[in-house]
Structure 1
Amino acid sequence: MERLAIIADNLIGANDAGVQFRKFGFSTQVVLNHLELISHCAGVDVISVNTNSRTLSAEVAYDRVNQVATALHKLGFKQFYKKIDSTLRGNIIEELQGMMDALALTLAVLVPSYPAHGRIVENGYLQLVQEWGDSSVPVPVGYIPSIIRCSPSIPVAVIGLDDVRQGEKRLVQKITALHTAGIRVIAIDAVTEVDLRNIAVALCRLSVPYLAAGSSGLAGSMPIAWKVVNQETMSMRQGTMVIAGTLNQVTAEQITSMLDYPNTELIIIQSAAIYDGQVAEEQARVMTSIGSSLHSGRIPVVVIDTLLESRNNTDALSLSVQVQKHGNTVTALLGQIAKETAEQHGLCNLVISGGGTATRICQTLDITAIDLERELLAGIPIGKAVGGNCDGLHLVTKAGGFGKKNSLRKVLELL
C-alpha cells in the first residue's frame, strides 16, 4: 500500500490520530522530533509527526509544517492527514496552507468533529456536548470559518448535515462544485460516527486531489477514504459494546461510574420478562435498542436490571433463588444478544464482565481461542478472537469482582 503520513501540532494529537491506523494492523510510529524523520521512516506503514507547533506564531507554524510535509513527500509518502485540535486551537489555517503548498494541493477538507468525546459540528458551528445529570447539552464554541481566521486569499465554505446524510454522491457533488467555485477549505458538519463514515466514503470517491484534515474522529474512518481498508471490512468491525452478566456489586459500581463516559447508553434487560418466559420478546426489544445505539455512534452497555438494584439480606436470598433457577437462561440470552449484534451490526470491541457470561458468549460466537495482546488494567486483559464469524474481534474480559470503581470507564478510555 502507499505509505501514509499524519502531521499533528502536538504529541497527544499525533498519538491519538496514529492509533486509529494501528488498530487496523498498520505499523505506525510517532515521531516526537520533526527534525529526525529519516531515521524513523524505514519499514513503517504510517508515520505520525509531532511538529509541536500549536503555540508557535502563525508564520513559524506555517514554515515548520511546510518543511515537514515537503520532507515526507520526498521520502515517498503519498497520502497525508492534517491532525487538528478538535476544539480548533492553534494555527489551523496556516498549517493547512503550509501542507497544501508543500503538496501542491488546492483543496482541504476540514472535519473537526469527534463525537466520541463530545465534539460535534452542525451548521458550521463547533459545539461541545456537556453532560448535565441524565441529559446532555451542546454548548456552542463558534463558527468554524471565524475561529480559524479565514481570509479572502483562503476562502472557507461549510457543507451542512443534510448534505452529509444524503450520502456520498451528494457530498461529492457539493465538494466538487465548491472547489470549482474557488473554495480552498471546506468544513463539513458531523454529529455521529455514521456521519464521519459517510464523509470518508465520499472522499474515497472524490476525483479532486485534497488534503484531509480533522480530529482523530475523522482519522478513524480515513482507511476507507484512502482505500487501504474497504468499507465492508470497517462496517464489520465498527463499534464497542459492554455486557455485564455478573451480579457482583463491584461491577454494579463500575457500570454506574462508566455511564459518565461520553456516548455510553445503558440498556437494561428486564428480569421479570425472563422469569415469565418472554425471552424472545425481551431479546427483540433489547436488540432494537442496541441497533439504535450503535447506529448513532454510541456505546451500548447491556446489563440485567437486578445488577443495579440495591438489596438487603431478604432481597439477596430471593435473588439467589432466581439466579439458580434462571441463570442459564440469562447467560444464553446474553450470548444470543452478542451473536446477533455481531452479525447484524458488527463490533470492534466487546467488553464482558462475568466469567460465566464470557464463556457462554465465546461458545455462542464459535470463538475457539483468544490471541492475547496486553493487560489493559490489573486482571483485565484484551485479546483478539480466533475462529467463527468474529475472527479478529477485540475481547476484554473481567471477573465480576475485579477492579476499582472506575475500572470499566478506564477500559473504554484505553480501547
Structure 2
Amino acid sequence: MEQISIIADDLTGANDTGVQFCQHGFRTMVIIDAANVERMGQDKDVWAINTDTRHLAAPEAYQRVYEITLKLKKAAISRVYKKIDSTLRGHPGAELEAVMDAWQADLALVVPAFPANRRLVVDGHLLISEGTETAAASTSLTPGDARTALCHIPTVLQGEMGRRVGQINLATVRQGVKELVAALEAARTNSQVLVLDAVDEEDLRNIARAISRFQRDVIVAGAAGMAAHLPLAWNLKPVPNNPLNKKGAILLVAGSRNPVTAAQVQRLAEVSACQAVKVETEAILTGEPAVEIERVLQEVTTQDAGAGLIIIAVDSLFQTIDRDRVSNSGSKAIALALGTITSRLLNMRRISALVVTGGDTAVHVCRALEARGINLAADLLPGIPLGYLEGGRGDGLPIVTKAGGFGSPDSLIKVNEFLQQRMKNEMELV
C-alpha cells in the first residue's frame, strides 16, 4: 500500500489521529521526535509525526513543518494529512501554509470537526457541544443551545495565511457528493483553503466521498474525526496487531492541567481507592526538581502494590488556581520531571502499562524511556488510543495517551478497567 503521513503539532494529536488508521488495519507508528523522520523505514503504512511545534512562535512552527514536509516528499510519501488541534491551539494557519508550500498544493480542505468528542463546526464556527445529540446536530447557531462557540475558523486561519480562506456550509455538505464536489470546485476559484462544516459522522463521510474525487496534490487537514474517514476518501486497503503481555501495576501520569483531566483523575482515584501521589509543581519551578522527584518516588514505594494502579499527578489538578500562569519553560520543567519519575519507576516497580495525559508530558515520558516511536493498536475511547512503545527501556510496553480536554468524567476509569481486564484475560490464557 502507499505510505501516508500525518503531521501533528504535539504527541497526543499524532496518537489520536494515527490510531484512526490503525483501527482500519493499517500498520501505524508515531514518530515521537521529528528529527527521526529521515530514519523511517518501509515497514509501516502510516507515519504520524509529532513536530512538537505547539508552543513555538508562528515563524518557527512554519519553518519546522516546511522542512519536515519536504523530507516526506523526498521520501516518496504519497499523501499527507495535516492534523490540527480540535480547539485550534497552536498555529494551524502557519503550519497548514507550510505544508501547502512544501507540497506545492493548490487547495487545502480543512475539516476540524470531531463529533465523537463533541467538537462541531457550524457556519465556520468551532463549537463544543455540552447538550443532547439533537442540540449538537442543529444546523444553525442559536443562543443558549448548550454549545460553546470557541472561534470562527476561517478568521483564525486567515490571520496566519497568505492564501485566501473560504468556507463551505453544512447545507452544502449535506446536499450530496456530486453537489459538494461541484461546490468545492466553484469555491476554489476564489479560495485556496476551504473550511467545511460538519456536526456528525455522516457529514464526515460525505466529505470523504467528495475528497475521493480530488487529486493527490489536495491537502486535507483537520482533527482525528476526519482522519477516521480518510481510508474511504483515499481508497486505502488494509493489513493485523499486538497483545498486552506485561504483568504489574498500571501507571497513570497526569501532567495536563486541563479541568477535564482534573475531573477524570479525581473520579478514578475515588472509584479505585488509589490515592494519587501529587507532584508539587512549585518545588520544581523554584529550582528543586531533584528533591521533589526523590520525594515522589519515596511516596510511591510506600503505597500498597496490590492495588494494580499508581496515580502520579501534578498538584495543580487538585487546586483552584490560574492554570495559565505557568510559562512554557515552567511547563517543560514539570514535564521533564514527570518523565524522570516515570523512567525511574520502571526500574523500581513492575509496570504493566502507561497512561499519560497531556502532550508535553507524553513526549517527555517517551524521551525519558528512550523510545523511538509508538506502534498504535486501537482507539479505546474517542481520541484516546492504545499503542506499544518501540525501542528503549520500555520496549513493548503498552501506552495510552489522552489530550487534556478529551473524554468524559469516567474516561480514565474505563481505560483502567479495559487494561486490567485485558491483562487478566491474557494471564488466564498463559
1:66-85 residue pairs with structure 2 within 5 A?
Answer: 66-85=66-85
Q: Does 1:198 align with 2:183?
A: no
TM-aligned CA distance change 1:99 to 1:413, over 3 Å: farther
1:236-315 residue pairs with structure 2 within 5 A?
Answer: none
- 8 Å contact kept, 2:91–2:160: no
* Alignment-derived partner of residue 162 in structure 1: 171
Encode CA deviations 1:216-246: one digit per residue, 9 max, x unaligned.
Answer: 000000011111049xxxxxxxxxxxxxxxx
Greater relative CO, 1 or 2 (CA 8 Å, sep 6+) = 2
For 1:227 and 1:95, the matched residues in 2 are separated by 26
TM-aligned CA distance change 1:172 to 1:414, over 3 Å: farther
For 1:95 and 1:209, the matched residues in 2 are separated by 17
Code of the residue aligned with 2:414 in structure 1: it is: K
Q: Does 1:218 align with 2:226?
A: yes
- 8 Å contact kept, 2:84–2:223: yes
User: Which protein shows a greater Rg?
Assistant: 1
* Alignment-derived partner of residue 142 in structure 1: 151
Encode CA deviations 1:33-69: one digit per residue, 9 max, x unaligned.
Answer: 1011132333111000000101111111011001111
Give the CA deviation at 1:19.
Answer: 0.4
Q: Does 1:410 align with 2:414?
A: yes
Encode CA deviations 1:284-339: one digit per residue, 9 max, x unaligned.
Answer: xxxxxxxxxxxxxxxxxxxxxxxxxxxxxxxxxxxxxxxxxxxxxxxxxxxxxxxx
Give the CA deviation at 1:209.
Answer: 3.2
Code of the residue aligned with 1:53 in structure 2: it is: T
1:175 is aligned, of 184, 196, 210, to: 184
TM-score of the aligned structures, taking structure 2 as reference length: 0.53
TM-aligned CA distance change 1:117 to 1:57, over 3 Å: same
Superposition RMSD in Å: 3.2
* Alignment-derived partner of residue 127 in structure 2: 127
- 8 Å contact kept, 2:85–2:223: yes
* Alignment-derived partner of residue 31 in structure 2: 31
Q: Does 1:104 align with 2:113?
A: no
Encode CA deviations 1:176-195: one digit per residue, 9 max, x unaligned.
Answer: 1111x231110000000110
Moved over 4 A (4+): 405-409, 411-415
For 2:418 and 2:111, the matched residues in 1 are separated by 24
For 1:113 and 1:88, the matched residues in 2 are separated by 11
Q: Which runs of 5+ in 1 are unaligned?
A: 231-257, 259-372, 383-404
Encode CA deviations 1:68-118: one digit per residue, 9 max, x unaligned.
Answer: 111011111011100000111111111011001111102110011000111
For 1:57 and 1:190, the matched residues in 2 are separated by 30
For 1:187 and 1:27, the matched residues in 2 are separated by 29
1:10-29 residue pairs with structure 2 within 5 A?
Answer: 10-29=10-29
TM-aligned CA distance change 1:414 to 1:80, over 3 Å: farther
Encode CA deviations 1:100-153: one digit per residue, 9 max, x unaligned.
Answer: 111110211001100011100011111111249x98711111211222244783
For 2:222 and 2:74, the matched residues in 1 are separated by 24
Code of the residue aligned with 1:46 in structure 2: it is: V
Code of the residue aligned with 2:63 in structure 1: it is: D
- Match of 1:63, SS state, is helix
- Match of 1:101, SS state, is helix
- Match of 1:41, SS state, is coil
Q: Which runs of 5+ in 2 are unaligned?
A: 136-144, 239-263, 265-376, 387-408, 420-430
* Alignment-derived partner of residue 302 in structure 2: none
Encode CA deviations 1:368-401: one digit per residue, 9 max, x unaligned.
Answer: xxxxx99x79xxxx9xxxxxxxxxxxxxxxxxxx
- Match of 1:127, SS state, is strand
TM-aligned CA distance change 1:407 to 1:2, over 3 Å: closer
* Alignment-derived partner of residue 265 in structure 1: none
TM-score of the aligned structures, taking structure 1 as reference length: 0.55
For 2:411 and 2:160, the matched residues in 1 are separated by 47
